[in-house]
Amino acid sequence: MPATKPKSDKAKVRTFSATDRDYAMLASVAHYHGSSKSAMIAGLIRKEFWRVFPNGTDVVTPDEGARQIP
């Protein structure tokens, strides 16, 4: 039996506003990388978050075993 994600790790449906041009750019980049638009947005947010906050925040802590910058 496969392990299930904890409730806090499950994705929730959300909406966002974007111009037609921004939406087309997102669709193009997602297609290029072979992922969904949602996965592309989430991946970009994660990448930027860890760039800005390499040691996490009070609410978002690094995964166990992750390399942290002193």
Q: Is residue 67 part of a domain?
A: no
* The pair of three-digit structure tokens given for residue 65, joined into one six-digit string: 């075993």
Q: Is residue 29 part of a domain?
A: yes
Q: Is residue 25 part of a domain?
A: yes
- Total domain count, the chain: 1
Domain assignment of residue 36, given as a range: 21-54
This prediction has a pTM of 0.71
Closest CA relative to residue 55, chosen from 40, 66, 46, 45: 66
CA distance 48 to 54: 10
Q: Is residue 7 part of a domain?
A: no
CA distance 66 to 22: 33
Q: Is the pLDDT of residue 26 over 90?
A: yes
Contact 17, 30 (CB under 8 A): no
Q: Is residue 42 part of a domain?
A: yes
The one-character DSSP state at 10 is S
Please give the average per-residue pLDDT across 39-64, as a whole number: 92
pLDDT confidence of residue 5? 62
For the chain, the average pLDDT equals 88
The 10s digit of each residue's pLDDT in 1-16 is 566 666 667 888 888 8
